[in-house]
Amino acid sequence: MAHFFSNIVLFNGIYDIICAISMLNILPIPVFDKLHISMFKEHDQKLQRMFAYWILTYGIIRVLLYNNWSNGLVSITYFLEALCIYNEYMCNELVYDKSWFVIITSTLFGIITIPKN
Q: Tell me the whole-structure pTM to 2 decimals.
A: 0.93
For residue 101, the number of C-alpha atoms closer than 13 Å in the C-beta half-sphere is 9
| DSSP reduced 3-state for 117 | coil
Q: Given phi > 0 = left and psi -120 to 50 = alpha, else beta, which region is 88?
A: alpha
What pLDDT was estimated at residue 46?
Answer: 96
pLDDT digits over 30-65, tens only? Answer: 999 998 999 999 999 999 999 999 999 999 999 999
- 40 and 86 Cβ atoms separated by less than 8 Å: no
What pLDDT was estimated at residue 70?
Answer: 84
Domain ranges, ordered by start, for the chain: 2-112
For residue 33, the number of C-alpha atoms closer than 13 Å in the C-beta half-sphere is 12
Strand partners, 40: 94
Over 35-65, what HEC string results? Answer: CCHHHECCCCHHHHHHHHHHHHHHHHHHHHC
